[in-house]
Amino acid sequence: MTKANVTARLVGSAAEVGAAAWNACANPEGHPDPHPFTRYEFFEAVEESRSATPKTGWQPLHLVVERDGRVDGLMPLYVKSHSQGEYVFDHAWADALERAGGDYYPKLQACVPFTPVTGRRLLVAAGADPDTTRKTLLAAGAAAVRELKCSSLHITFPIEAEWRAAGETGYLRRTDRQFHWVNRGYASFDRFLTELSSSKRKNLKKERASVLEAGVEFDWLTGTGITEKHWDTFFRFYMDTGGRKWGRPYLTREFFSRVGESMPEQIVLILARRGKKHIAGALNFMGEGTLFGRHWGCTEFVPFLHFETCYYQAIDFAIARGLAKVEAGAQGEHKLLRGYQPVPVYSAHFIAHEGLRRAVANYLEQEREAVAENIQDLAAAGPFRKEK
């Protein structure tokens, strides 16, 4: 796609875009606390480690907008041959199109592979016009669907402003919800507990005490404090739990070494230890004042160990570091009773097939209303003390 001195093209890897050009769009103001999942380093790690490759059903094909040879905008993009590892479920759409005689795959996915975290998906460099560049990316993405003979383009977990911009340019808009913990200036975990109702506060204390009584302690590892031995240990947890939960974990062992080397300052590895033996762990990333919980695993069962390792230790860390939020990943209403609050998350969808597009549009209109009501109901049923 070319217009005047503006060109949109597809490139086959993050490495082909290059770290400097990518990060100039991902972190245009050079902020010292960038979003970890828009950075070049994360995409380079997931691709070069053979976690996201054509063989695994994730063919990199990033969309780049250039003006006079300078990268003004970027949409991280993958050609998908399945709908795994996305966390926005469209299996029913695929079934409907294939029953009608069409092919849903391949499709295009604008996202961070295996990562249900909200962040910018229409990356714009400093000095470029944001509105114009976003519109160009959206238009070029729709054009790529037709040129590549794909069924659709799915932009998952964009920020709300991008979601609205996509809707204004003909994309269908979808909502879902996650559970995030918000730091209201707490000085300690106990101070946070004072805002919960009495019964919920007792429940959390009981769960934490149970893990402590089992003789479990925790190590917080960040930066260069995380060694290859620690990654070996965590990968064992990841493969054991991920293999039982998903059948095939997405990330290779090499991925963890790569992110550990390229972005160590944004990694928080929480390891649960009984004596000298580590028995569980949770991998977190941090940036933009948020701790993002990503992966967990264990090799021993201890009651409430998952809640403590993934949720309570994350809250402790966020309070200690003065972080504003903890995002605990996709799904899980059990997080609500542990102080994590429901918030909306977004996706936008360009569907080439007119019949399927009409059917999905009607469905999404009803779904958005249901999700909004669900968020209200969940918030009302949350664990916090009700104001009198």
For 158-173, how does the pLDDT look when each residue is reduced to its tens digit (9 = 90+)? 999 999 999 999 999 9
Do the domain assignments include residue 331? Answer: no
- In this structure, are 314 and 373 located in the same domain? no
Assess contact for 77 and 108: CB atoms under 8 A: yes
- In this structure, are 173 and 238 located in the same domain? no
Backbone angles phi, psi at 12, to 5 degrees: -85, 5
- Classified as helix, coil or strand, 36 is coil
Do the domain assignments include residue 57? Answer: yes
- In this structure, are 315 and 260 located in the same domain? yes
- In this structure, are 272 and 373 located in the same domain? no
- Can you read off the two tokens belonging to residue 176? 């879902």
Q: What is the reported pLDDT for 243?
A: 64
- In this structure, are 147 and 229 located in the same domain? no
Whole-angstrom CA distances from 209 to 38, 204, 304 are 38, 9, 10
Which position has the token pair 């944004």? 266
Q: Is pLDDT above 60 for 374?
A: yes
Please tell me the least confidently modeled range out of 242-251, 257-266, 268-277, 360-369.
242-251
Do the domain assignments include residue 330? Answer: no
Report how many domains make up the chain: 2
Do the domain assignments include residue 11? Answer: yes
- In this structure, are 189 and 158 located in the same domain? no
Do the domain assignments include residue 387? Answer: no
- In this structure, are 141 and 205 located in the same domain? no
- Range of the structural domain that residue 265 is part of: 184-323
- Can you read off the two tokens belonging to residue 34? 């960038």
Do the domain assignments include residue 333? Answer: no
- In this structure, are 32 and 145 located in the same domain? yes
Q: For the segment 108-160, what is each residue's pLDDT rounded down to a tens digit?
A: 999 999 999 999 999 999 999 999 999 999 999 999 999 999 999 999 999 99
Q: What is the reported pLDDT for 332?
A: 84
Please state, in angstroms and rounded to a whole number, the distance separating the CA atoms of residues 356 and 224: 50
Please state, in angstroms and rounded to a whole number, the distance separating the CA atoms of residues 152 and 102: 12
Q: Identify the band that residue 246 occupies on the pLDDT scale cut at 50, 70 and 90.
A: low
Q: Identify the band that residue 3 occupies on the pLDDT scale cut at 50, 70 and 90.
A: low
Which of 261, 263, 262, 314 is closest to 291 using CA atoms? 314
CATH number at residue 6: 3.40.630.30
- In this structure, are 305 and 168 located in the same domain? no
- In this structure, are 170 and 29 located in the same domain? yes
- In this structure, are 282 and 216 located in the same domain? yes
Non-local CB neighbours of 329 within 8 Å, separated by 6+ positions: 116, 117, 178, 292, 293, 294
pTM, rounded to two decimals: 0.96
Burial class (CB in 10 A: 0-12, 13-18, 19+), 375: middle
Q: Is pLDDT above 80 for 388?
A: no
Whole-angstrom CA distances from 152 to 74, 141, 214 are 18, 9, 50
